[in-house]
Amino acid sequence: MGTMTALRAARGLVIGAGLLFAPLALAAGRAPTPKECAAHPTNPAVKGGCIVINRSLGNCMACHVIAGTSMDGNIGPALRDVRANFPNKSALFEQIYDPTINDPHTAMPPFGKDHILSKAQIREVVDFLWTL
């Protein structure tokens, strides 16, 4: 095997390993478990999922069906394939920060405007929702 071939093979291995591990790091399209949250995750999407399921923070499952949770709230639409309804992450950020912009009579709390969540927390929630 020539040096270049060996290098290429090594790079293939690294890329292959990256592909294998990437979906795990991306919260895999479901809410993390309380156990995963207790382990202090550092991945922003996983952290966002932990905010979503925390009953004193997002508590989003009270109103929404979300994969990985079992409360199956039915006041708002099921949160699946969320990306299909938002052109980009900032539009989704806006929906969480202040849903009254899109619907003045919404039942959804303005998490940002009412200081329930910080902007940094909402950004992580958006990263999580983007994986659903």
- Min dist CB 4 to ligand HEC, Å, is 48
- Binds ligand HEC (CB under 6 A): choice among 26, 37, 62, 71: 62
Q: What is the CA radius of gyration of the chain?
A: 18
Distance CA 45, CA 32 (A): 10
DSSP state of 78: -
Binding part of the chain for ligand HEC, among 8-16, 18-26, 29-37, 101-109 by CB under 6 A, reads: 101-109
Longest dimension (CA), the chain: 68
Is 114 near ligand HEC (CB under 6 A)? no
Q: What are the residues whose beta carbons fall under 8 Å from the beta carbon of 101, sequence distance 6 or more?
A: 94, 95
- Min dist CB 16 to ligand HEC, Å, is 34
Would you tell me which residues interact with ligand HEC (CB under 6 A)?
A: 52, 58-60, 62-64, 75-77, 79, 82, 85, 95-96, 99, 102-103, 106-109, 111, 125, 129
